[in-house]
Chains A and B, each alone.
Chain A
């Protein structure tokens, strides 16, 4: 989901999650009204930053699995196994017993993704998952998401500022233009005129002979 600051990307995400009501019209997601399905998981921007030092990565991920169940019960061995498997799937098993506050930005993002994944969603929504990550971590998180998409079959929608790091994994993009949401495939989106209009600044799509694709300003 792309668009300039203030175009309503996060708002649209919150509508999909049922966190915000729509003023008019109806929204259906996975065939249901927003907020009525358990098949969607959400990773907000800077998620684990707020949790501070009180919890371990393991406890944080556990909340994705057991955080919605009432009553007092222990996490079962089977649940811990699933939590550990999910931490392995996001390449963060080695930090499972560390406090969140001691983790790097990239590790925290993996923990946040693990928490979202552990409930086995069909759709994963991420708000700016690459914000505040260095280039290497950006690349690793993108590869991870790409892998989850192909191996687990999870559909992933992410809000992004910068298209470039995502171009090699994108199927298509929702873009918010003049108050309306549009969808196009990757080839349709990487278009000089569209991107220039969308971001309000001259942009060029560059295709190298090696087949690389990137967007650059003037």
Chain B
């Protein structure tokens, strides 16, 4: 439980920071795509007797570099990306079927299992988090500029293409972490939903990131507590809380947006 709490906290912070840019850049589908590309990495790693996190990271970051190099909107080329995803998930299933302790890994990757997080993974996640936060701080303004419009940013000599690849690599790392918490199928609710909620609540970039982070922490912590109290799957509780907050903010949003 202690590991779950620490791991959940690390992931919540990383997902909150990167989620803001995912929403502003309009690459929500790319985040979704990376989670699915990670599946064969995870099940393949199990098949080869390697750590799941390693397999996930290699596939997510690899996929991220490809999507990033193709340009910002590549993740939203729906048919091509959807086809690649379907194949990736199929491949994940195949690897899983070849491995002996397959079904539990498969379920863990698809839906996450915060309670199965190991101390070694915590160390890796902490390193990922420090890396992600440090890089985002360093490139914050040019990344935001490039996210708003690539042409204008390029004309001002912002290295848009390099930033695009860099951002996708960061996203790949965050996806690797987040899959552990909520799984590939529910990842959207941790990486995209709280950031979208935060942006509905405030248009100020710094505040939106801080708020996304707080909402993520709230979802993960409260989710863990509720899951323990009622013996429910933690992923389900975390996702339910994040989505409920989003829904409430969205439904009550119109009236508030005017004064903010």
Q: List residues of chain A with CB under 8 Å of any chain B CB.
A: 14, 17-19, 35, 38, 40-44, 47, 50-56, 59-60, 63, 66-72, 99, 102, 115, 119
Give the Cβ gap from B140 to chain A, nearest Cβ, in Å. Answer: 5
Q: Is B247 an interface residue (CB 8 A)?
A: no
Contacts of B156 in A (CB 8 A): 38, 41-42, 67-68, 119
B144 touches which of A18, A40, A67 (Cβ 8 Å): A67
Q: Is B233 an interface residue (CB 8 A)?
A: no
Q: Measured between alpha carbons, how far is A51 from B199 in the docked complex, in Å?
A: 12
Instruction: Choose, from B27-35, B180-188, B200-208, B224-232, the stretch at the interface.
Output: B200-208
Contacts of B208 in A (CB 8 A): 54
Contacts of B138 in A (CB 8 A): 70-72
Instruction: Choose, from B3-11, B147-155, B236-244, the stretch at the interface.
Output: B147-155
Q: Measured between alpha carbons, how far is A44 from B158 in the docked complex, in Å?
A: 16
* Closest residue of B by beta carbon distance from A116: B152
20 residue pairs of the A-B complex, CB under 8 angstroms, read A17-B155, A19-B151, A35-B155, A40-B155, A42-B155, A44-B151, A44-B152, A52-B24, A53-B199, A53-B200, A53-B203, A54-B203, A55-B24, A59-B203, A59-B204, A59-B205, A67-B141, A68-B157, A70-B141, A102-B257
Q: Measured between alpha carbons, how far is A67 from B151 in the docked complex, in Å?
A: 13
* Closest residue of B by beta carbon distance from A75: B141
Contacts of B153 in A (CB 8 A): 67
Q: Is B142 an interface residue (CB 8 A)?
A: yes
Contacts of B154 in A (CB 8 A): 17-19
Contact B145 A68 (CB under 8 A): yes
Interface string of B201-217 (1 = CB under 8 A from A): 00111001000000000
Contact size range, B? 20 to 34
Give the Cβ gap from B73 to chain A, nearest Cβ, in Å. Answer: 10
Which residues from 138 to 197 on chain B have a C-beta closer than 8 Å to any C-beta of chain A?
Answer: 138-142, 144-145, 148-149, 151-158
Q: Measured between alpha carbons, how far is A93 from B257 in the docked complex, in Å?
A: 19
Contacts of A69 in B (CB 8 A): 141-142
Do A55 and B152 form a contact, CB below 8 Å, given A63-B141, A72-B140? no
Give the Cβ gap from A109 to chain B, nearest Cβ, in Å. Answer: 14
Contacts of B140 in A (CB 8 A): 72
Interface string of B14-54 (1 = CB under 8 A from A): 00000000011010000000000000000000000000000
B148 touches which of A19, A56, A63, A119 (Cβ 8 Å): A63
Do A51 and B142 form a contact, CB below 8 Å, given A19-B154, A99-B203? no
Q: Measured between alpha carbons, how far is A56 from B205 in the docked complex, in Å?
A: 9
Contact B148 A50 (CB under 8 A): yes
Q: List residues of chain B with CB under 8 Å of any chain A CB.
A: 23-24, 26, 137-142, 144-145, 148-149, 151-158, 199-200, 203-205, 208, 257
Contacts of A14 in B (CB 8 A): 151
Q: Measured between alpha carbons, how far is A119 from B203 in the docked complex, in Å?
A: 23
Contacts of A42 in B (CB 8 A): 151-152, 155-156
Q: Which of A14, A56, A67 has the most CB of B within 10 A?
A: A67
Contacts of B141 in A (CB 8 A): 63, 66-70
B157 touches which of A35, A72, A115 (Cβ 8 Å): A35
Q: Measured between alpha carbons, how far is A54 from B23 in the docked complex, in Å?
A: 8
Give the Cβ gap from B76 to chain A, nearest Cβ, in Å. Answer: 12
Contact A67 B199 (CB under 8 A): no
Contacts of B26 in A (CB 8 A): 50, 52
Contacts of A63 in B (CB 8 A): 141, 144-145, 148
Give the Cβ gap from A215 to chain B, nearest Cβ, in Å. Answer: 30
Contact B155 A50 (CB under 8 A): no
Contacts of A68 in B (CB 8 A): 141-142, 145, 156-158
Contact B203 A60 (CB under 8 A): no
Contacts of B155 in A (CB 8 A): 17-19, 35, 40-42
* Closest residue of A by beta carbon distance from B145: A67
